[in-house]
Homo-oligomer: A and B are copies of this chain.
Amino acid sequence: MSLPEQILSGDRLALARLLTQIENEEPQGIAALGDLYQHTGSAHIVGVTGAPGTGKSTLVNHLALALRQVETGDPDGNRVAVIAVDPSSPFSGGAILGDRIRMRDLAGDSGIFIRSMASRGALGGLARTTHSVSQALDAAGYSWILIETVGAGQAEVDVASTAHTTIVIDAPGMGDDIQANKAGILEIADILVVNKADLPGAENTRRMLELALHMAPPVTTDASSDSAIPPWTPPVIGTIATQGEGIQELKAVILEHKNYLDRSGSGDARERARIEHHLEALLREKLLNRFLAEDSSQKFNEMVALILDRKQSPYEAVKQLLTTS
């Protein structure tokens, strides 16, 4: 059996092997992904982002279990994959002293697949490979793909560009910064979660989020959406992830958002934007590689020397490199 066939038949080891090949951008893996691509398009990708300390990993754990719950009678009906892009996540190998116990709940279930990805490496490389890894998991038959990522800033924008539904997690007691932070993050949130809802200050955190939402409503990128259907308003959900509280409500809201994307047509618009984004990212990298491979590599080094001597500015250097190529 070929690698794609093995993956379509449910071979987890083959899948793990493919994901490694994709992460390393090996030709073999890229070829296999090409063969598998026709089998993609049925998974729903959920991005989960939040600062360290918000209880994100615990929430992802419980959410994976909740989404896995089989209502269809088919035990393979709701297979769930978790991609941990966060080096601090207990799902990833990065945790030195972290709590590894949490993920044990998931590890025994063959319908759940966990993959951790380091967030090191070349600029943009992570978003590129995360997208490809999602596709492989999609083809392998995982109907839910949870992508866990950390922090605030570029990483979240990247998650949003890959996910169908983006969840932003906050928690009380994270300091003023976090609240203000939401100004940037709200743009990408489809669902907001206030985790640790039992802690003092949770109600305050929720009010801050709702106020921020009110002041800076999400930018609607859903261009082709049906005007008869009102735009999606990100709901704010309270959870206590450590006790599993609020998880079923969160699951219900995710299903609602999935349904909204289907009904309104904005799911299609997002899918198109996602593909354009991915294609551009791939092109950017390939064009650079091709450029440096064709005898421009020496010219590149000459330009670096000139820039080092302040005899040439980087922008000028790029212009010259491009005109002579």
Contact = CB atoms under 8 A, between A and B. Distances in A.
Interface stretch (A106-114, A179-187, A224-232, A253-261): A179-187
B184 A118 contact: yes
Contacts of A279: 300, 303-304, 307, 314, 317-318
Tallying the copies of this chain within the complex gives 2
Interface in A311-325: 311-318, 321-322
A96 interface: yes
Contacts of A94: 180-181, 183-184
Contacts of A318: 279, 282-283, 286
A98 B180 contact: yes
Interface SS of chain A: helix, strand, loop or mixed? helix
A223 interface: no
A161 B57 CA distance: 29
Contacts of A96: 179-180, 182-183, 211-212, 215-216
B304 A276 contact: yes
B152 A88 contact: yes
A23 to B, nearest CB: 14
A314 B152 contact: no
**Chain A interface size, under 10 / 10 to 19 / 20 to 34 / 35 or more:** 35 or more
A219 to B, nearest CB: 10
A201 interface: no
A316 to B, nearest CB: 5
Given A30-B315, A284-B284, A53 B272 contact: no
A123 B288 CA distance: 15
Contacts of A69: none
A249 to B, nearest CB: 24
A199 interface: no
A311 B39 CA distance: 10
B181 A154 contact: no
Interface string A164-208: 000000000011111111111101000000000000000000001
Contact of A33 (B127, B276, B291, B315): B315
A275 interface: yes
Contacts of A322: 283, 286-287, 290
11 contacts: A39-B310, A51-B52, A96-B180, A98-B180, A118-B184, A132-B314, A151-B152, A153-B154, A278-B314, A279-B304, A284-B287
